[in-house]
């Protein structure tokens, strides 16, 4: 695809002492919301700031916790997000905010006290429009720790800078992000037609408008991933399907690393077909031997997964290692299958049902 980015230009500076607006979409986060909010309120800042929570239709008591937190601290602002979708919630929170720098936060994340101060310094130093750092995934159970290791490993999520790079510089995208409001408004805020991958698409527009998206490894955010296998599958399938939608819309604007999981899925599907033809005798002799080449990538992948699971990064005990061996192909196959379907037929109204409450009530 032809490079349509403009010559690089600096994002507008903000006056000294200008405040910060934190924005957080929230849906069914009863177990995570309080520590996430407390980490924002504990930021080491000398400028005024506010936290705008965009409240989706939670069914687990999250909304009640949000109102309790807001009643105790007037820096917390609540806005309704009846559509539940993340981009809509982010845009409603941004519009409700008042300060020229916007910090995206997640109810599954916790910020280090110096996070925002460092990000503001990096924005000024680099002239970037968006600054992000490392996603430092953590887990409490053997399963969640395995998911966290996959997030933190280039084997797990394909080597995006915010999953483990130590090199500061311009980046394709940013995890969460600390953004200049003027640039956000110039490019049109988040695209509300995109339910997953909205951050990548926004950063693509920022870069095409001529601004830098900057990765600073000194910034890090603690992220608590999904804590059950079914939720992980639903999350990654939905994310993959929306990546397929982004492939339909932007083609090679997508990084090559996004295409590894669907190649794995297609090879697995082809291997099943070849195996059936061999077992039924349709493929025999030299043809059966030649067709067996489709098993080689799967065998190499299986060895790689087992090496990662058994190696130093596999975990502290046998449960951690077993879950690591299960989590890696779960993430890759769910994401890859979603991408194949999304690229073929679009994402349509696909939602991440892992964010739903225990009743699995459909989103509006």
Which of 174, 195, 229 represents a domain boundary (last residue)?
Answer: 229
Of 93, 95, 91, 103, which Cα lies nearest the Cα of 20? Answer: 103
Is 362 inside any structural domain?
A: no
Q: Are residues 295 and 219 in the same domain?
A: no
Whether 242 is in a domain gets the answer: no
Question: Pick from 338, 340, 333: which is nearest to 351 by CA?
Answer: 338
244 occurs within a structural domain: no
Give the CA distances from residue 119 to residues 9, 52, 95, 220, in Å, rounded to whole numbers and listed in that order: 19, 19, 21, 10
Pairing of the two strands 49-55 and 109-111: unpaired
Query: Range of 289's domain?
Result: 250-355
On whether both 116 and 220 belong to a single domain, the answer is: yes
Query: 360 lies in a domain?
Result: no
Tokens of 32: 């995570």
Shared domain for 193 and 269, answered yes or no, is no
pLDDT level of residue 7 (50, 70, 90 thresholds): confident
Domain boundary among 166, 194, 229: 229
Residue 333 lies in a domain: yes
Asked which of 175, 199, 229 is the last residue of a domain, the reply is 229
- Reported in sequence order, the residue ranges of the chain that DSSP labels E, i.e. its strands, are 20-26, 49-55, 76-80, 101-104, 109-111, 130-137, 169-170, 175-180, 213-223
Is 176 in the same domain as 323? no
| pTM, entire model | 0.86
Same domain membership, residue 220 and residue 95 = yes
Whether 162 shows a pLDDT value over 60: the answer reads: no
Q: pLDDT (tens digit, 9 = 90+) per residue, 305-340?
A: 999 888 876 666 888 889 999 999 999 999 999 999
Distance of CA 113 to the CA centre of its chain: 22
User: Domain with 73 in it: what CATH number?
Assistant: 3.90.550.10
Per-residue pLDDT tens digits for 41-94? 999 999 999 999 999 999 999 999 999 999 999 999 999 999 889 999 999 999
150 and 269 both lie in a single domain: no
Q: 90 with 122, same domain?
A: yes
Q: Are residues 155 and 283 in the same domain?
A: no
Residue 3, in any domain of the structure: no
8 Å CB contact between 128 and 211: yes
The verdict on 62 and 124 lying in the same domain is: yes
254 and 219 share a domain?
no
Answer yes or no: is 113 within a domain. yes
Number of domains in the chain: 2
Measured CA to CA in angstroms, residue 21 lies from 53, 175, 180 at distances of: 11, 17, 10
pLDDT at 164: 53
Confidence at 362, pLDDT banded by 50, 70, 90: very low
47, 157: one domain: yes
Residue 5's pLDDT band (boundaries 50, 70, 90)? low
For residue 250, is pLDDT > 60?
A: yes
Residue 221 lies in a domain: yes
Residue with tokens 């993340």, as numbered in its chain: 86
Domain match, 177 and 260 both: no
């Amino acid at each position: 695809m032809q490079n349509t980015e403009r010559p690089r230009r600096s994002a507008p500076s903000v006056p000294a002492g200008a405040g910060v607006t934190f924005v957080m979409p929230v849906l069914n986060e009863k177990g995570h919301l309080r520590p996430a909010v407390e980490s924002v309120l504990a930021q080491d800042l000398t400028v005024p700031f506010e936290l705008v929570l965009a409240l989706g239709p939670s069914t687990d008591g999250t909304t009640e916790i949000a109102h309790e937190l807001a009643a105790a601290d007037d820096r917390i602002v609540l806005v309704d997000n009846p559509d539940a979708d993340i981009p809509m919630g982010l845009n409603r929170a941004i519009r409700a905010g008042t300060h020229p720098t916007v910090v995206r936060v997640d109810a599954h994340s916790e910020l280090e006290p110096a996070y925002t101060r460092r990000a503001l310094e990096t924005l000024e130093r680099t002239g970037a429009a968006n600054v992000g750092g490392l996603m430092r995934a953590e887990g409490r159970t053997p399963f969640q720790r395995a998911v966290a290791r996959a997030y933190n490993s280039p084997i797990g999520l394909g080597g995006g800078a915010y999953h483990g790079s130590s090199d500061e510089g311009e980046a394709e995208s940013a995890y969460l992000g600390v953004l200049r409001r003027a640039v956000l408004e110039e490019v049109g805020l988040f695209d509300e037609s995109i339910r997953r991958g909205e951050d990548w698409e926004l950063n693509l527009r920022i870069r095409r408008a001529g601004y830098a998206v900057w990765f600073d490894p000194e910034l890090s955010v603690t992220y608590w991933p999904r804590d059950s296998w079914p939720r992980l599958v639903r999350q990654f399938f939905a994310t993959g399907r929306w990546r397929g939608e982004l492939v339909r819309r932007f083609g090679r604007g997508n990084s090559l690393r996004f295409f590894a999981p669907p190649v794995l899925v297609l090879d697995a599907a082809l291997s099943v077909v070849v195996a059936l033809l061999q077992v039924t005798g349709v493929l025999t002799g030299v043809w059966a031997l030649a067709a067996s080449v489709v098993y080689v990538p799967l065998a190499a992948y299986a060895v790689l997964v087992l090496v990662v699971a058994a190696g130093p990064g596999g975990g502290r005990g046998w449960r951690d290692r077993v879950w690591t061996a299960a989590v890696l192909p779960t993430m890759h196959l769910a994401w890859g299958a979603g991408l194949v379907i999304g690229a073929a037929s679009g994402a349509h109204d696909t939602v991440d049902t892992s964010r739903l409450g225990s009743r699995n009530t459909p989103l509006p």
